[in-house]
A and B are shown apart, each in its own frame.
Chain A
């Protein structure tokens, strides 16, 4: 079955995660055990009390101490149960937090190119709802699995001390329950495996239909699809129920044994009481304890779907964890002082997309300091892939990317300070200054102004109502496209990068804005390598070096005019 390896992986993950919160889980189980002991004590006292009052003509006033003890046990039992639940929840939440942290770190290690291959909605759902599905598993399922062992054994021990026959009844029926549950559970699992595709297909049919709504409308099939969705929903209900019916047999088995043993205890004890060979106190106690004997089993089987949800969630997480870590370079901090990089050299570079499709082959070119290098070529030709490789978001399959300092000495790539301005730059909710300081949190006003000047952004920033302290709105909605680009450029410059990479910096801008950006770019060239991918001729005209990307490779194009900034 397709799902099996992922399931096995999920089981491994569960163990690892349980280890993470062992203390909390252990606490939950121990306190739960205390609660179980108190519960049994409470029932012993209650049986004692009822027996005394009903059969031994004790006055109510003589039993005050027993009342007190029962209440004490009750409060202790309830309190301990409460604490146990809370410890379990804490364990669950901690696991969820831990998994989210690890996942996020892994995604950052995978890098933007790899992550772009997974639908954002799926990632977001795995993070939030997936991690959330782990909580009940650790909060309820794991403690209840432990409690399933503790409480029945405890009750069995007490009953053994009270009455042999009842012990026999409970000891025989108790173990049969798990046996039957496993038996039926396997049956249900087999059916589920056999109908796995059908179930997952129908289960996902609603989401599938919603995703395809636009396609259906374009085909003019909206009306027919209404019937289709109703039919699929119907089939989903029927299939699910047919599997559930088998799964319900599990609880029916549980129900059978628990009802049967109560009835047996009552009838067997009744006969013996009648014959005078048993005393009421033990009979009543066993009758009180019998339902509790099966209660943990019931709680456990009720939390069974928590396990299934958690397993499904872990399969999804497994998929994300399986993403290759492509952006390795950024796991290291920038170690070297800035300003030393002379050239970046690509030799025989071969780059594939994360799913293995070749994009660039035999790319040999270089990018020099104090030069504006412009990449041209049709979209889809591999310009962005080359930029992503330079930035370290994609690792080449063959060939190498090297950095050399101004004296021609080879230097480690992770010592090169990179900065980039993507086509749709990140704008966080906050002021202009907040956005500029993202990369250099400690930058002072002087530095901000300097960077803004260089990026040709100072003019418009100062024209804003509150200057650097102006809020830019959700995703920079209060700024124009050109202003956002220049702000992002200023932010990149604030980091004083050795290499500055820009993807389509003038796309979607009118001629005037494009000119502003182009002029700003020319000014940034001093002391660094600037690489720009563009469609625009205006920008290509200002290049010091032109590279044309086509047919999976890169060619150097002679620059027409003799300009050096």
Chain B
């Protein structure tokens, strides 16, 4: 199931367009919810009448009692009880099914929007878990249906029916019920709504601020400890948290107060209806049996208004989540798909000219007027201290970031005109921050090259020096990896990434620290197998390990934000 392209276009309304395909399912959920609420009302309403009617008949003596047909209302009571049981269950199943489907569509929608922005657009400014926020925001928006739309729609539809039923018996009572329901179901949510919006917003702002502060504290923990400022830092942070807790507490007070208010309105309405009904009864417009019935009816009717304050709060949260998601995934203007002549062509040479680049919001440049030429078929070692521009070359090559000035051309084409997905057809990367997905080892390998054969898999695993390790696993390639799976060591995971890159068989191979975490023997084995297997392939090996360099044709050093020819004796120092 793939998302229709047009749903990627719109803004916030795009979310709601997602629900169009599900509208019957969602409507069915509301229908069952209403059926359950109506059955609940009917149960109490009819029970009240049954009791009072039987009591009146009982008081009227034997004859009257015998004339009273208890079978029909008793059947009705049982009927409503059954309907209530079944409708409640169906409501839950159908509504949650709808909500989950909606959530699924929403996830796909958010994902499709975020994909072109990765990785640059997904970096947390201060290391906070931006991705986690996307997940929770998506869930909150999806919960709009069950937590907000459903209770409000149920209250509206059932409210009309309740008032209509009351109107059949007594107009003033119906008017009073309508007034009470409007007060409780409309005025109270309206009254607390703006304050809830404000508190939810403030809470969210505080939260992201506090998260950023915490991330910074964690990052600089050593200094805080040595400066003896750790406890005062912790104190400050707790104080900020306490402030946020106060917003949370106010929100809760508001919700509780609104709920209390609705209870007050419920009983006030019930007492009012009682007074009206008794007067009407005395005036002969209403039978005695109908008096308790109407009172119970009011109490049952307000059952639909009680969840509204909480629903209003959920609405505030969903609104905020919608705004945040919308801001985080702006409608992207995808680069046009490059065809034939405009794609890189052989020889696949990389030419970097006067390249300057600094990551957004940083001061020191990673590269400054850097020049570099790598010809097809070369095996090049790229060395230099960690954190200095080596990995940035991958980001620039794939257009994840745009250079500040200068140009990069690959196979005669400016990489700025290519999409990362186009580039991937020519260059395979084993990045340092690669990700192993939750799934089996085989899944992860096939993710890189979906059509790889068993033999190809075995070959690349052999080259990556993984054969022995895989054989040692009871489930071999079917072993689960990723978050909940087997924890691979750094070196093992790194070699899986290398195997993935090899499997793709592209003309270029870029390996970022391929031998990190390997012992000397494995390192030698891996590099030897690699250069033997990929003689024709261009290999760029970013590393700080000296032992890797003899396998390369030449070495380039990244130093002072430039590429310098390296190798020779000064490398060994």
Using CB atoms and an 8 Å cutoff, list the residues of chain A in contact with chain B: 42, 46, 49-50, 53-55, 60, 67, 70-71, 74-75, 77-79, 81-82, 85-86, 89-90, 93, 96-97, 100-101, 104-105, 107-108, 111-112, 115, 120-125, 127-129, 132, 135, 139, 197, 200-201, 204-227, 229-231, 233-234, 236-238, 240-241, 244-245, 248-249, 251-252, 255-256, 259-260, 262-263, 265-267, 269-271, 273-276, 279-280, 283-284, 287-288, 291, 327, 330, 333-334, 378-380, 388, 391, 393, 418-420, 422-426, 438-439, 441, 475, 477, 479-481, 488, 491-492, 495, 504, 507-508, 510-511, 535, 537
Contacts and interface: CB of A to CB of B under 8 A. Distances in A.
A217 B238 contact: no
A70 B421 CA distance: 72
B183 to A, nearest CB: 15
Contact of A236 (B51, B85, B104, B288): B104
A492 B225 CA distance: 12
Contacts of A218: 394, 398, 420, 424, 428-429, 431, 434
B97 A241 contact: yes
A123 B249 contact: no
B338 interface: no
Contact of A510 (B56, B58, B560): B560
A439 B52 CA distance: 79
Contact of B364 (A248, A391, A481, A537): A481
A441 B233 CA distance: 12
Interface in B64-119: 65, 68, 70, 73-74, 77-78, 80-82, 84-85, 88-89, 92-93, 96-97, 100-101, 103-105, 107-108, 111-112, 114-116, 118-119
B274 A49 contact: yes
B241 interface: yes
Contacts of B10: none
Nearest to B364: A481
Q: How large is the interface on B (under 10, 10 to 19, 20 to 34, 35 or more residues)?
A: 35 or more
Given A120-B215, A139-B252, A510-B560, A266 B292 contact: no
Contact of A123 (B85, B218, B423): B218
19 contacts: A50-B292, A60-B279, A74-B264, A78-B263, A85-B256, A108-B231, A124-B218, A135-B248, A225-B115, A226-B111, A241-B100, A255-B85, A270-B51, A273-B54, A284-B51, A378-B546, A477-B361, A480-B364, A508-B388
A537 B570 CA distance: 11
A127 B238 CA distance: 11
A96 B245 contact: yes
B187 to A, nearest CB: 17
Interface string B398-420: 10100000000000000000001
A330 B124 contact: no
B3 A206 contact: no
Max chain B Cβ within 10 angstroms of own Cβ: one of A101, A206, A223, A252: A206
Interface pairs A-B: 4 shortest CB-CB: A220-B424, A121-B129, A233-B104, A237-B100
B331 to A, nearest CB: 16
A75 B241 contact: no
Nearest to B222: A112
A267 B435 contact: no
A216 B70 CA distance: 70
Contacts of B249: 86, 89-90, 93
B214 A420 contact: no
A86 B387 CA distance: 51
A111 B226 CA distance: 11
A46 B274 CA distance: 10
Given A241-B93, A270-B54, A334-B228, A124 B260 contact: no
A504 B386 CA distance: 11
Interface stretch (B41-49, B339-347, B456-464): B41-49
Interface of A is mostly: helix
Contacts of A380: 386, 516, 544-545
B252 A86 contact: yes
A85 B216 CA distance: 35
A97 B85 CA distance: 41
A378 B85 contact: no
Given A112-B221, A236-B100, A422-B223, A267 B50 contact: yes
A124 B211 contact: yes
A236 to B, nearest CB: 7
A204 B483 contact: yes
Given A219-B447, A270-B50, A420-B226, 15 more contacts: A46-B270, A108-B231, A112-B221, A124-B214, A206-B111, A207-B132, A218-B428, A225-B115, A226-B108, A227-B2, A230-B3, A231-B1, A244-B92, A270-B73, A274-B57
Contacts of B107: 206, 229-230, 233
B55 A237 contact: no
Contacts of A123: 214, 218
B96 to A, nearest CB: 6
Contacts of A115: 218, 221
Interface in B130-150: 130-132, 134-136, 138
B47 A93 contact: no
A70 B271 contact: yes
Contact of B573 (A201, A291, A537): A537
A255 B385 contact: no
A329 B456 CA distance: 53
